[in-house]
């Protein structure tokens, strides 16, 4: 068995399936490529044929099977009970993973990872891609929210670093959880060639010349999707809105009812999410990327810099966004779209019509998006910050700088 170099073992943990979480898998693949041995402990609804461990691209994934975790709980006490039981099970599973750095994804995993990391005096990274504690669902439970923040703030003193997905989140994290180094790690798609195509038009049986304004991502209540449906009647005849993604609430049913009630079936189309490996091929068949998120819904929405922004750029799509500080700064920096202050249906429709119909402006924004990607907006460039962080943590805990470990075989 090959002996690993010091600080070369990483354990990640999330309360969901790892294979469908491209943020986590991109991180894991980047570390694996750099030579780290990566193990992920995730939570799945069921383990196929009783297999609780699998290998994906040289990454070991150890499953905790818990079907009830994916069933919404109507009562607070029931949710807390499920969460506590699941955290105990995950803690036991994590004890079986020997690692040098423990990487917790989102607040729900932090307690179990903190306990394991402290027991073994190892490095600890707290990854908060969104501001979970600011969403309305958490604010409905103010006492529980305050207790959770106090506990996380106390545990964060032992953290080596926060990781977050938007530069606008950084001061909010420091205010909420205390002064720990923060790494802003934007989750940009891995670089690949994207060719304009008509995949969406073919899937929806639309004429090839149909122009598509695309929203891709989770279909949730905080995404401002109802406003897009209300804007559809004001669109030019050859423009269609496509909403593509999965959901964990009743939002798709609400949208379908609105579409049917207003007889907009030919103007607004709903599609399920596609595999992440194919996503940019689908995105490239659209003409405009939509990011009209409601700024006042929560701090997490207001200051976000979501994956879909970079996915639109990678596919060469101009972007129409609401005034969200981090996104607005990027749009102005790279000149890749338009920021809309008035989110009324008529204003939304007019902005879509203008951006899609003005061929010269569309081509300029399209070219600017591809130039931005060519100048370094790729995961290959961004992931170097993650590798540097892990090197720094190894240096901090040992006082010795270790060169990146050589690649490790899955059976080592």
Residue 136 lies in a domain: yes
User: What is the pLDDT, as a whole number, of residue 410?
Assistant: 40
User: Do residues 217 and 86 both lie within one domain?
Assistant: no
The tens digit of pLDDT for each residue in 277-319 reads 899 999 999 999 999 999 998 999 999 999 999 999 999 999 9
Residue 23 lies in a domain: yes
Residue 403 lies in a domain: no
pTM over 0.95: no
User: What is the pLDDT, as a whole number, of residue 394?
Assistant: 84
Residue 192 lies in a domain: no
Residue 139 lies in a domain: yes
The tens digit of pLDDT for each residue in 208-220 reads 999 999 999 999 8
User: What's the CATH code of the domain at 56?
Assistant: 3.40.50.2000
The tens digit of pLDDT for each residue in 94-126 reads 999 999 999 999 989 999 999 999 999 999 999
List the domain range (segments joined by +) for residue 57: 9-187+380-397
Whether residue 404 has pLDDT greater than 60: no
User: Do residues 164 and 63 both lie within one domain?
Assistant: yes
Rg (CA), the chain: 22
User: What is the pLDDT, as a whole number, of residue 120?
Assistant: 92
Q: pLDDT band at residue 6, thresholds of 50, 70 and 90?
A: low
Number of domains the chain is built from: 2
User: Do residues 76 and 175 both lie within one domain?
Assistant: yes
Residue 408 lies in a domain: no
User: Do residues 122 and 142 both lie within one domain?
Assistant: yes
Residue 128 lies in a domain: yes
Please state the rounded mean pLDDT for residues 135-158. 83
User: Do residues 359 and 387 both lie within one domain?
Assistant: no
Provide the 10 A C-beta neighbour count for residue 407.
13
User: Do residues 77 and 202 both lie within one domain?
Assistant: no
Please state the rounded mean pLDDT for residues 72-83. 79
The tens digit of pLDDT for each residue in 123-132 reads 999 999 888 8
Residue 3 lies in a domain: no
Residue recorded with tokens 């402990």 = 41
User: Do residues 239 and 147 both lie within one domain?
Assistant: no
The tens digit of pLDDT for each residue in 239-264 reads 999 999 988 788 999 999 999 999 99
């Amino acid at each position: 068995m090959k002996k690993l170099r010091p600080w070369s073992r990483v354990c990640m943990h999330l309360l969901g399936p790892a294979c469908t979480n491209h943020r986590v898998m991109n991180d894991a693949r980047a570390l694996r490529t750099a030579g780290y041995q990566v193990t992920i402990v995730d939570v799945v609804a069921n383990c196929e044929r009783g297999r609780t461990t699998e290998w994906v691209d040289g990454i070991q994934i150890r499953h905790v099977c818990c079907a009830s975790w994916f069933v919404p709980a109507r009562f607070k006490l029931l949710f807390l009970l499920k969460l506590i039981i699941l955290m105990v099970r995950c803690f036991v599973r994590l004890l079986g993973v020997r690692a040098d750095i423990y990487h917790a994804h989102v607040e729900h995993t932090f307690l179990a990872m903190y306990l394991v990391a402290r027991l073994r005096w190892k490095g600890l990274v707290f990854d908060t891609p969104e501001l979970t504690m600011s969403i309305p669902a958490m604010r409905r439970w103010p006492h529980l929210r305050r207790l959770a923040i106090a506990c996380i703030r106390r545990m964060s003193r032992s953290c080596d670093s926060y990781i977050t997905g938007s530069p606008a989140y950084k001061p909010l994290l420091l205010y909420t959880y205390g002064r720990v180094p923060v790494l802003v790690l934007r989750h940009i798609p891995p670089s690949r060639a994207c060719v304009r195509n008509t995949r969406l038009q073919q899937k929806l049986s639309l004429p090839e010349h149909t122009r598509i304004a695309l929203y891709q991502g989770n279909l949730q209540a905080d995404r401002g999707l109802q406003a897009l449906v209300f804007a559809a009647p004001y669109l030019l005849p050859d423009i269609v809105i496509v909403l593509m993604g999965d959901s964990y609430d009743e939002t798709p049913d609400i949208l379908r009812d609105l579409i049917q009630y207003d007889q907009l079936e030919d103007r607004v189309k709903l599609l399920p999410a596609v595999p992440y490996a194919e996503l940019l091929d689908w995105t490239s068949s659209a003409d405009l990327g939509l990011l009209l998120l409601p700024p006042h819904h929560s701090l997490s929405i207001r200051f976000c810099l979501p994956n879909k922004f970079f996915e639109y750029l990678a596919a060469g799509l101009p972007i129409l966004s609401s005034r969200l500080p981090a996104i607005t700064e990027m749009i102005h920096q790279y000149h890749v779209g338009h920021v809309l202050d008035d989110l009324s249906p008529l204003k939304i429709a007019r902005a879509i019509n203008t951006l899609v119909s003005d061929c010269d402006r569309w081509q300029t924004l399209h070219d600017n998006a591809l130039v931005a990607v060519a100048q370094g907006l790729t995961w290959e460039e961004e992931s170097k910050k993650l590798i540097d962080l892990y090197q720094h943590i190894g240096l901090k805990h040992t006082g010795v700088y270790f060169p990146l470990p050589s690649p490790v075989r899955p059976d080592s």
